[in-house]
Structure 1
Amino acid sequence: MWSSKDVYYISDSTGILATNLGQALICQFPEINFHEEKFPFVLNIEEAKKILNYILKKSAGRRPLIFSTIMTKEIRAVFDAPEVELFDAFEFFMTRLEGCLEAKALGVPGFSRHIDNLTMAKRVEAIHFCLEHDDGVNMHELDEAEVILLGVSRSGKTPVSVYLATQMGMKSANFPLTSEYLKEYLLPEEIIKNKKRAIGLTTTPEVLHNVREKRYADSNYAKRSTCSEEIQTAETIFHNHQIPIVSTAGKSIEEIATQVSQELGLSRKPTSLNERS
């Protein structure tokens, strides 16, 4: 068994798909150390050859892994070398898909990045809205929000909100349940009026304690008892107002965002610029 392996993600677009695919696979081998590098926007044979030479020199005959999502066959062929282990996503899936559909694929690199101006405008608008409605700011504009995330401090509201905006094109706002609301078991009127678009984020006392402890060590704010009490109170508030609850404990931002959108019936085909990576 290998103790370590070099891994390279190569794409004619952003490289996100190649990276996600490779990492989803290699994480199943925790006993092996992986050294990873990414090469996005590989658009010609000359550049591909330079990258392959770099890989071969750096890996020194240790048969590195290459995860590729390059569409152009000629460029892709450069990396099909005996000194490396090539995992070619498009060659594997596209050939089979063409057979299933009885049709020929376009074969255009990064095709889904060529989105229309309207889609781009909506994405930019969602991002601006998210930034302008973070942490309870501009509450009077919540009528425009598609998603309103609620939760105690450090429960994951902002990163999930940003992901919903940047990757799913949703106008997302978030509101922190501070002590003034927790003590009285209250929600602002603006939230109650728009609660059909609200989701309560929760977590475990252990996770919340660990997150807060890193920022404010040995503080009352970070105590496990404080975390437990705040979480219980927040969940009671959510139940009182019949607001769906999504736990962030042990989940990736992508998982949480997907569950949030499903709870609100907002699941949709993503429109991000990195769809074809």
Structure 2
Amino acid sequence: MHKDIQRRDVFYVSDGTAITCETLGHVVLGQFAFDVNEKTFPFVETEDKVCELIKHIQHAYERDGVKPLVFFSMVVPGIRERLLEAPAFFYDVLESVVQRVAEDTLMKPKPKLQRSRSVGKDSDTYFDRISAIEYTLAHDDGVSLKGLEHADIILLGVSRSGKTPTSLYMAMQFGLRVVNYPFIAEDMKMLRLLPEFEFHRHKLFGLTIDPERLTQIRENRLSGSEYASTEQCEQEVNTIESLFRREAISYINTTALSVEEITTRVLEKTGLKRRLF
């Protein structure tokens, strides 16, 4: 009998960044109840790298007596064949889709190493994304309110409601320039928008969160502080939601949402165009 059948080792492997493998793997494995021990191996392009990877897979198999799950994407035939010799269950994240597209278009695919993330001819869009990330970092947590005319969206909310991770995800994945601003005690007392935001109302979007969850998050950061108290969290959430309603600012509750889900809902509600890379 396997000693730990409720836990599986999962490897995400690619001769590129492995982001596609991770994304698909997370979606698929989210449908199953077992725990996963995840490891990512990007840029497996050489014989030495695939041999080192196989050692890790072999070790996991010998340790638990259970074949690991490997989500992979490989375009170099020799490296791919070598990988498939390892004791694991393999899932090619592109094979079935590529084959279907080839059949439907009557065209043969021309595999190219790291095609999905290369700069090359798409250097303009690549550097646009870098610029978006730099802009978003410079406007994180209310650090700067200059250049708001260049923002695609301005996220508002209380401290620790998910603004920063959402902002960075939107910048990194979609090339959006995001400003995020945390409402502090002085803002709460006045219960009004800053003058800087009045000229960019169409870009404003709010994030809120259940007070109980906010208390838990803040307790992990500053345990026992007034900042993390139940009363303070309830007061801040109630105040900010009142402001959103009064100023007709669209907002969503982030309590049970992942960063990916928050971003998707924000884009859906605002109609912002996704800039894919």
Whether TM exceeds 0.5 here: the answer is yes
Cα distance, 1:236 vs. partner?
1.3
Cα distance, 1:82 vs. partner?
7.2
Which residue of structure 2 lines up, in the alignment, with residue 142 of structure 1?
A: 148
Distance in 1 of aligned mates of 2:53 and 2:123: 34
Which residue of structure 2 lines up, in the alignment, with residue 266 of structure 1?
A: 272
Cα distance, 1:237 vs. partner?
0.9
Which residue of structure 1 lines up, in the alignment, with residue 136 of structure 2?
A: 130
- Contact preservation (8 Å) 2:67, 2:89: yes
Cα distance, 1:264 vs. partner?
2.0
- Contact preservation (8 Å) 2:17, 2:117: no
Cα distance, 1:46 vs. partner?
4.8
Cα distance, 1:245 vs. partner?
0.3
Is 33-42 or 209-218 further displaced after alignment? 33-42
Which residue of structure 1 lines up, in the alignment, with residue 116 of structure 2?
A: 112
1:151 correspondence with 2:157: yes
Distance in 2 of aligned mates of 1:57 and 1:215: 37
1:201 correspondence with 2:204: no
Distance 1:50 1:183, change over 3 A: closer
Q: What percentage of aligned pairs have identical amino acids? A: 34
Which secondary structure state, in structure 1, belongs to the residue aligned with residue 147 of structure 2? helix
Which secondary structure state, in structure 2, belongs to the residue aligned with residue 107 of structure 1? coil
1:38 correspondence with 2:40: yes
How is 1:60-79 mapped onto 2 (pairs within 5 angstroms)?
60=62, 62-79=66-83
How is 1:45-60 mapped onto 2 (pairs within 5 angstroms)?
45-60=47-62
Which residue of structure 2 lines up, in the alignment, with residue 103 of structure 1?
A: 107
Gap runs ≥5 in structure 2: none
Distance in 2 of aligned mates of 1:23 and 1:119: 27
Paired residues in the alignment total: 270
Distance in 1 of aligned mates of 2:48 and 2:144: 51
Cα distance, 1:269 vs. partner?
4.0
TM (norm. structure 2) is 0.89
Distance in 1 of aligned mates of 2:59 and 2:163: 44
169, 188, 192: which one aligns with 1:182: 188
Gap runs ≥5 in structure 1: 272-277
Cα distance, 1:45 vs. partner?
4.1
Is 48-57 or 145-154 further displaced after alignment? 48-57
Which residue of structure 2 lines up, in the alignment, with residue 274 of structure 1?
A: none
Distance in 2 of aligned mates of 1:94 and 1:111: 14
Is 214-223 or 236-245 further displaced after alignment? 214-223
- Contact preservation (8 Å) 1:127, 1:165: yes
String of CA shifts for 1:41-71, please: whole Å, max 9, x gaps: 0113453244224422442253221111112
How is 1:5-44 mapped onto 2 (pairs within 5 angstroms)?
5-30=8-33, 32-44=34-46
